[in-house]
């Protein structure tokens, strides 16, 4: 018989336990380090209140069109004329639009790159209408262009929210190499000193802003007028759309069979005026003419299949006019990439 030696103490477990403990020590230390981080991550991150840059590009034949967002302005529903207040509210509610303190209304401009020229239609409000507007310059730069590259600025009309952006904060030309062009009738009205002097007191400021905005270009010999139907440059033709102002104009842009009408202020409220084209707005110089023009252009847009760019349609203001019974409807453009094949040459 073999007698095994008696063991009085187990010693083999201690080295193992010491090894395990040594291995776990870094993990314990790591846990202590991560604990405050986990607590910090449990708190919600701060909200990011900045919006994306306000530009949107689309291709029309060989032309590139970039919508530029100047900002928004609240327009009181009471400015709309020719329809009972409760009916206006019904139309606004149908589109889920808030009307207090006013209906949010976009101010848009449009940059057209023809491949040869860079053309800006309208220049925004700059500082003329408060802090919610005045973003054309920033969004032009965000879109990849510089103000110095603009060759021509076409004005649909001479209201301040379309031309105050012609000047910078120091009163200089904001587009130093551009020629500004405006319809003969609008220039003859807004830049005429006798007409300005005889205008109602509440209108005096609008005449002053128009004159000041174009002053740097006039002094440099870079302000000129155009006639209805004039071809302003290849693919861009002026169209008389009078009523909102005496010489209000739209611009028909054509390339490779695609046609886009940049129509300025034919519509201020998409929720109301497509459904009720006979509704005018307080700012119309000749409300009856503005209504007749709107009806005519709506019909042309439907018949001809024009795309539309509107100064006061929800950004980017691009889309089409559709028929809806005896009335019309706004069909906004869908977001999409710019086809590489139509990208214009670099400047």
Q: What is the pLDDT of residue 339?
A: 81
Q: Where are the domains of the chain?
A: 55-333
Looking at every residue in the chain, the average pLDDT score rounds to 90
Q: What is the pLDDT of residue 23?
A: 56
Q: What is the pLDDT of residue 1?
A: 45
Beta bridge partners of 308: 261, 319
Tell me the CATH class for 55-333.
alpha beta
C-alpha span between 190 and 311 (Å, rounded): 20
Q: What is the pLDDT of residue 19?
A: 56
The answer to whether 113 and 55 have CB atoms below 8 angstroms apart is: no
The burial class, CB within 10 Å (0-12 / 13-18 / 19+), for 174 is buried
Count Cα atoms within 13 angstroms, Cβ side, for 199: 17
Q: What is the pLDDT of residue 16?
A: 52
Q: What is the pLDDT of residue 340?
A: 75
Q: Pull the structure tokens for residue 82.
A: 């020719």
Could you say which residues of the chain have pLDDT below 50?
1-12, 20, 342-345
Using alpha carbons, list the distances in angstroms from residue 84 to 111, 126, 276, 282, 284. 37, 34, 12, 15, 18
CA dihedral in degrees (57, 63, 255, 317; nearest 10)? 30
The answer to whether 114 and 103 have CB atoms below 8 angstroms apart is: no
Of 99, 124, 117, 103, the C-alpha closest to 62 is 117
Using alpha carbons, list the distances in angstroms from residue 158 to 110, 141, 190, 210, 298. 16, 24, 7, 6, 23
Q: What is the pLDDT of residue 11?
A: 47
C-alpha span between 342 and 125 (Å, rounded): 31
The answer to whether 106 and 316 have CB atoms below 8 angstroms apart is: no
> Residue 125 — φ and ψ, nearest 5°?
-95, -15
């Amino acid at each position: 018989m073999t007698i095994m030696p008696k063991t009085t103490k187990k010693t083999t477990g201690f080295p193992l336990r010491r090894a395990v403990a040594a291995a776990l020590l870094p993990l314990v230390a790591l846990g202590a380090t991560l604990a405050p981080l986990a607590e910090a991550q449990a708190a919600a991150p701060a909200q990011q209140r900045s919006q994306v840059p306000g530009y949107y590009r689309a291709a029309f034949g060989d032309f590139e069109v970039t919508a530029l967002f100047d900002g928004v302005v609240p327009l009181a529903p009471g400015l709309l004329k020719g329809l009972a207040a409760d009916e206006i509210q019904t139309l606004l509610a149908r589109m889920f639009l808030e009307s207090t303190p006013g209906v949010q209304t976009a101010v848009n401009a449009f940059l057209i790159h023809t491949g040869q020229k860079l053309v800006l239609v309208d220049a925004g409000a700059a500082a003329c209408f408060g802090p919610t507007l005045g973003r054309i310059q920033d969004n032009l730069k965000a879109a990849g262009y510089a103000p110095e590259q603009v060759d021509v600025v076409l004005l649909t009309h001479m209201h301040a929210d379309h031309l105050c952006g012609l000047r910078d904060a120091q009163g200089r030309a904001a587009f130093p190499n551009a020629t500004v062009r405006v319809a003969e009738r609008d220039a003859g009205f807004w830049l005429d000193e006798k007409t300005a002097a005889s205008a109602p007191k509440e209108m005096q400021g609008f005449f002053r802003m128009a004159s000041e905005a174009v002053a740097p270009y006039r002094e440099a010999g870079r302000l000129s007028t155009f006639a209805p139907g004039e071809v302003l440059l290849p693919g861009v033709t002026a169209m008389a759309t009078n009523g909102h102002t005496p010489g209000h104009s739209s611009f028909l842009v054509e390339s490779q069979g695609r046609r886009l009408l940049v129509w300025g202020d034919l519509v201020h409220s998409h929720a109301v005026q497509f459904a009720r084209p006979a509704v005018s707005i307080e700012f119309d110089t000749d409300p009856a003419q503005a209504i007749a023009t709107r009806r005519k252009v709506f019909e042309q847009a439907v018949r001809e299949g024009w795309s539309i760019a509107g100064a006061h349609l929800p950004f980017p203001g691009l889309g089409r006019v559709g028929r809806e019974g005896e009335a019309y409807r706004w069909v906004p453009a869908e977001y999409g990439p710019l086809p590489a094949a139509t990208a214009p040459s670099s400047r």
